[in-house]
Structure 1
């Protein structure tokens, strides 16, 4: 469920990027941006209206993906405690608060996953894709136009007409983070499955030896 939800979010942001490119290619109407200022808004074009729909779909799928990922993280955290016989580094409340507490959300979620992997496979290095995922996630989160953009959708449309490259960089980071997260989920789940079965712990999901951090 977690990997499926992540791929759906990645697909939603990819579609969003396509619509932003379409807006940039079409160009801003002669009547100006949707938000005319002073509380005045012009009638949206059909392309702008469809972008609102695309954006709304993304807003809907993100919470479902968040729930699926957190359920997975909580379960592998419990598995790691059972496999290692030691308590997790982070208290359980951080599985949720780690994503929203300012400053702490810059490293706690990565630390949660890293701790699970270390406890599940102490003789293995962390998969490099973990750092790739987290770097892309931070770009998407901090760019201001990714998962947590502050502008209204009409303001984002106006940016697509003038600075679409900023939107596309952020979209690429979100899509890349979603795909990288799939490999993170698979890597952590794989080491736990192998450890539980009593077999050898496999290499990182991307086939590399990984990096100890």
Structure 2
């Protein structure tokens, strides 16, 4: 039978092309498009310091500054105790018979002026250091609270602003900052859902208790000293001033330990999260 295309070559059946035409058609036909190759582009890892939807900021620098200032506050308290003991010594000398026969007090004007000057200088220096320490400490406190919110988003009772504002709420500042500290401490643990025996809040409670005692003693001692007029009243007020300073030293030391530990906890947890394998 003749080929259906070239009409002169033979084929085996009618209406079909011969082998030669079949080969030409196959060569002329365009190649079928190749199946698209799907390439998977890995999801880029977030930059260092980014966890989930939040950004971690290092509390190390602020923590060191706060600890240094707290140490200076403790040193200022030691100076204040020295000045208070000096004043108390003079007034106790008057009470123990510091009068001569003609009725004049056996305390020189120079000693009295020096004692007053020591009290004034140490009081001013202590107040200035306390104010500077409060500013740096609250900034650090807000930093660690923000970081803790990244570690555990739904763990907190209030927003990050309470890490600052809670210190200025009358009466509320006696317990709200502690609650913020406890929640921040818990969220900064390696596993904030673990049992409380892991990084217990004992240090937080000890620091806060000493802080409250310092506030109470300081206010009582300050009022007693401002109202004191007789040597006996000055001696009594000096005793309260010394007690308040000693308690403040204890509170400062516990605050240093609190800042150091919480800063270390957050730094360690942030490093662990940044080194953890990420899904691409």
Pair in the same fold by TM > 0.5:
yes
The structural deviation recorded for 1:49 is: 1.4
For residue 113 of structure 1, the aligned residue among 177, 181, 185 is: 181
For residue 176 of structure 1, the aligned residue among 235, 250, 261 is: 250
Structure 2 distance, partners of 1:49, 1:63, is 21
Structure 1 distance, partners of 2:70, 2:271, is 27
The structural deviation recorded for 1:125 is: 3.6
- 1:133 paired with 2:197, answer no
Structure 2 distance, partners of 1:173, 1:145, is 13
Work out the number of aligned pairs and report it.
188
Could you tell me whether the CA contact under 8 Å between 1:20 and 1:157 is conserved in 2?
Answer: no
TM-score when normalising by structure 1: 0.76
Would the alpha carbon gap of residues 180 and 15 (structure 1) be closer, same or farther in structure 2, given more than 3 Å must change?
same
Greater mean deviation of Cα atoms: 21-30 or 156-165: 156-165
Q: Look up the SS of the partner of 1:22 in the other structure.
A: helix
**C-alpha deviations, 1:146-193, integer Å up to 9, x for none?**
7x9446768599654234322222111111101100000111111111
**C-alpha deviations, 1:55-111, integer Å up to 9, x for none?**
111111111100110111111111111122336322333223322323212211111
The structural deviation recorded for 1:15 is: 1.1
TM-score when normalising by structure 2: 0.59
Structure 1 distance, partners of 2:155, 2:257, is 25
- 1:18 paired with 2:86, answer no
- 1:162 paired with 2:227, answer no
Q: Summarize the alignment of residues 55-134 of structure 1 with structure 2, pairs less than 5 Å apart.
A: 55-86=123-154, 88-121=156-189, 122=192, 123=194, 124-134=198-208
Q: Look up the SS of the partner of 2:149 in the other structure.
A: helix
Q: Summarize the alignment of residues 35-74 of structure 1 with structure 2, pairs less than 5 Å apart.
A: 45-74=113-142
The aligned residue for residue 27 of structure 1 is: 91
Could you tell me whether the CA contact under 8 Å between 2:224 and 2:237 is conserved in 1?
Answer: no
Could you tell me whether the CA contact under 8 Å between 1:20 and 1:160 is conserved in 2?
Answer: no
The aligned residue for residue 61 of structure 2 is: none
Larger radius of gyration: 2
Structure 2 distance, partners of 1:7, 1:25, is 27
Q: Look up the SS of the partner of 2:245 in the other structure.
A: helix
The aligned residue for residue 270 of structure 2 is: 196
Structure 2 residues not aligned, in runs of 5+: 1-64, 106-111, 274-280
Could you tell me whether the CA contact under 8 Å between 2:225 and 2:238 is conserved in 1?
Answer: no
Would the alpha carbon gap of residues 71 and 92 (structure 1) be closer, same or farther in structure 2, given more than 3 Å must change?
same
Greater mean deviation of Cα atoms: 120-129 or 107-116: 120-129
Write out the 4+ residue segments of structure 1 that deviate beyond 4 Å after TM superposition.
28-32, 150-160
Structure 2 distance, partners of 1:53, 1:156, is 20
